[in-house]
Every structure is written in structure tokens, then in C-alpha cells.
């Protein structure tokens, strides 16, 4: 085998609770990740030099790109030959949909296969975490509860195929900026209950009723994002009026996601957002997310 063509799926967060700053530059968090069908395509081929090409000219092709960094780590750690990577980009950048992290995890898994490295799951997880807090999730996919920086993962049962509408504002949010702003906001407000983790057991009963549990499943970074992009609040209110079962910003934003009971209801809601960039997608299982790498 000299090349692999693999899909690299996006994620949403059903909920995201940010705990205190840990003293190492990261915040403890509790989240539920969900793989969705929206994906980039990666063509990874054995080559003489490490190169990345992309159909989207706004994407950096050097080591600012997590896919390049992932390939470089594999080359350095396992002394394998370089690869050329072709990336067809569909996941919006800076949208909280995990595109860069997903690409990185996909490169790790694809190179593991391509060079028949048989890397242990533990080692692969450690390499993934060295690339970014969200990267380990993409080695697992599906629905997963996470604590720590986002790397202590517990697989959850598949929630079924839920139709999703994504509203994608032009203004991206940088993840470090979102966390920094949250710290600032919390310094000026009294300490609340965000100091402690609740434990994954807390959410398990609610997941069975998705997507009708939107009161429990929310995102601590949403208010933060509203202060960075004021019109996001109105956009979310507008999306809520479409009657989704659940509707929140994903990750550190700025993409808003709404879950609907039927494809028809979802598509009808999309029609009301013809003035915005939107995308439709649905939740996918772990098996689906990892199919190309099985
Ligand atoms: O791990 P990643 O590179 O995605 O993190 C980017 C930035 O987001 C970190 O440098 C940190 O500022 C913030 N972050 C955080 N706590 C986390 C994850 C990310 O404070 N659990």
C-alpha cells in the first residue's frame, strides 16, 4: 500500500463545561463530543518530501497546519519516509468543529496503517494529545464523554442519526482567545460551581433522550463568544425560533448547531438562513467515523 484516501470527520460538542485553570495553561473541562458526517478528504501518499496541498487557499500549508505537524511527529518518532498530503477542505476553519484536530488524528492513524507501524493505542493517544487537546477524541470518534483537557475519554452509546443544521458566521473565534476571555469574565463575577467536575454519570441518563435535553446540554463558552461576536446572540435566538430539540454553539465557536427531529424540519430551518453560510450534517457512530481506517 503506497497511498490512502480517508475522510476526516468534524465534531460538535453536546455540552461543554469549563472548570478552573489548571496552572499548566489549560483548563479542566467536561464535554461530550459527537462525530458528525461533515468531513474533509485526505489523500496520503508515500513520498520523498513532506508536503501538503489544499484546495482552500486560506489554509496554511506549513507547520502551522496540524496535519503537517502530525506527519512530522510520525516521521521523527518512527523514522518512516515522508508523505505528501492532499487535503480537500469542507470543515470551516475557526468554527469549533475540530477540523484541524480531526485532520491531525487522521494523519496519525493513516500513517500508522500505511507504514504498518502497529503503534499501541496508548502511544498514539499520547502523540495525539501532544498535538492538541481535541486530537485524542478523533482517534475514537462517535459519542464520547471527556474530562481532563478533553483527553480522558469514555465512549458513550450512539445517539442515533440526528439531522443537524450548522450556521457558520464569517467571524472565527480563536480557541486561546475564547478561554482567555472566559477567565477575564469569571474574575469579575463571583465564583460559581465551575470549580468541580460533575462526573460523566451525571449526563448518561440524559443522552438517551437526545435531542430533547437542551436545558442540560449547554456550552460555557457561549456567553464568552457573545462578548467577542455580539451578533452571535441574536443568531442563536433566531435559530432557536426554528424549533430545534437542541441548539448551541459548538466548542469555542463560532459555529452554531441545531438538532432537529426530522430532515424536513432541518431543511425548512435552513431555508430561513439563506442570508448566512450554512451546512447540513448528521450525527455518526464510531464505526462510521473510523470506517476508512478499519
Ligand atoms: O490544546 P489546544 O492546542 O487545542 O489548545 C489551544 C488553547 O486553548 C490552549 O493553549 C489554551 O489556551 C486553551 N485551552 C484551555 N483548556 C483546554 C483546551 C484548550 O485553556 N482544556
Q: What is the set of domains in the chain, with CATH numbers?
A: 3-157 (3.30.230.10), 163-282 (3.30.70.890)
Q: Residue 11 catalytic? A: yes
* 111 pLDDT higher than 50: yes
Distance between CA 201 and CA 194 in Å, rounded? 17
Q: At what angle do helices 221-228 and 231-240 cross, to 10 degrees?
A: 130
The answer to whether 62 and 50 have CB atoms below 8 angstroms apart is: no
Segment among 104-113, 131-140, 245-254 with least mean pLDDT: 245-254
Distance between CA 184 and CA 282 in Å, rounded? 35
Distance 6 CA to ligand 1 centre (A): 27
Cell of 77: 518518532
Q: How many CB atoms lie within 10 A of CB 245?
A: 16
Cβ–ligand 1 distance for 95 under 6 Å, the answer no
| Residue 164: its H or E element | strand 163-168
Distance between CA 48 and CA 273 in Å, rounded? 46
For 26-54, the pLDDT digits (tens) are 999 989 999 999 999 999 999 999 999 99
Confidence band, pLDDT 50/70/90 cuts, at residue 207: low
For 213-245, the pLDDT digits (tens) are 445 688 999 999 999 999 999 999 999 999 998
Confidence band, pLDDT 50/70/90 cuts, at residue 208: low
Cβ–ligand 1 distance for 176 under 6 Å, the answer yes
Cβ–ligand 1 distance for 26 under 6 Å, the answer yes
* Residues contacting 180, CB < 8 A, separation 6+: none
- Looking at residue 215, what is its pLDDT? 55
Q: Active-site residue among 40, 89, 134, 292?
A: 134
> Which residues lie across from 20 on neighbouring strands?
none
Best mutation site among 23, 24, 27, 104 for ligand 1, i.e. most ligand atoms within 8 A of its Cβ?
Answer: 27
Cβ–ligand 1 distance for 179 under 6 Å, the answer yes
For 41-95, the pLDDT digits (tens) are 999 999 999 999 999 999 999 999 999 999 999 999 999 999 999 999 999 988 9
Q: Residue 287 catalytic? A: no
- Looking at residue 289, what DSSP letter applies? H
The answer to whether 42 and 87 have CB atoms below 8 angstroms apart is: yes
For 9-25, the pLDDT digits (tens) are 999 999 998 988 888 99
* 254 pLDDT higher than 50: yes
Amino acid at each position: 500500500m503506497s497511498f490512502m484516501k480517508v475522510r476526516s470527520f468534524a465534531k460538535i460538542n453536546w455540552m461543554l463545561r469549563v472548570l478552573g485553570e489548571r496552572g499548566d495553561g489549560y483548563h479542566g473541562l467536561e464535554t461530550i463530543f459527537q462525530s458528525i458526517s461533515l468531513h474533509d478528504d485526505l489523500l496520503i501518499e508515500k513520498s520523498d518530501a513532506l508536503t501538503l496541498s489544499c484546495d482552500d487557499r486560506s489554509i496554511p500549508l506549513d507547520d502551522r497546519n496540524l496535519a503537517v505537524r502530525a506527519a512530522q511527529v510520525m516521521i521523527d518518532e518512527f523514522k518512516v519516509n515522508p508523505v505528501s498530503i492532499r487535503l480537500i477542505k469542507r470543515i470551516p476553519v475557526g468554527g469549533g468543529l475540530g477540523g484541524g484536530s480531526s485532520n491531525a488524528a487522521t494523519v496519525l492513524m493513516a500513517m500508522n496503517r500505511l507504514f504498518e507501524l502497529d503503534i499501541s493505542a496508548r502511544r498514539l493517544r499520547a502523540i495525539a494529545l501532544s498535538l492538541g487537546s481535541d486530537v485524542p477524541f478523533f482517534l475514537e470518534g462517535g459519542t464520547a464523554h471527556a474530562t481532563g483537557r478533553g483527553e480522558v475519554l469514555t465512549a458513550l452509546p450512539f445517539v442515533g442519526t440526528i439531522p443537524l443544521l450548522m450556521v457558520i458566521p464569517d467571524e472565527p473565534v480563536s480557541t486561546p482567545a475564547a478561554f482567555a476571555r472566559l477567565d477575564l469574565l469569571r474574575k469579575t463575577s463571583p465564583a460559581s460551581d465551575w470549580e468541580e467536575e460533575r462526573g460523566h454519570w451525571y449526563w448518561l441518563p440524559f443522552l438517551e433522550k437526545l435531542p430533547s435535553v437542551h436545558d442540560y446540554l449547554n456550552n460555557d463558552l457561549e456567553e464568552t463568544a457573545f462578548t467577542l461576536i455580539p451578533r452571535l446572540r441574536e443568531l442563536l435566538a433566531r435559530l432557536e425560533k426554528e424549533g430545534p430539540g437542541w441548539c448551541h454553539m459548538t466548542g469555542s465557536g463560532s459555529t452554531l448547531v441545531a438538532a432537529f427531529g426530522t430532515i424536513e424540519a432541518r431543511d425548512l430551518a435552513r431555508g430561513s438562513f439563506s442570508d448566512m453560510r450554512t451546512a447540513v450534517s448528521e450525527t455518526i457512530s464510531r464505526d462510521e467515523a473510523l470506517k476508512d481506517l478499519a
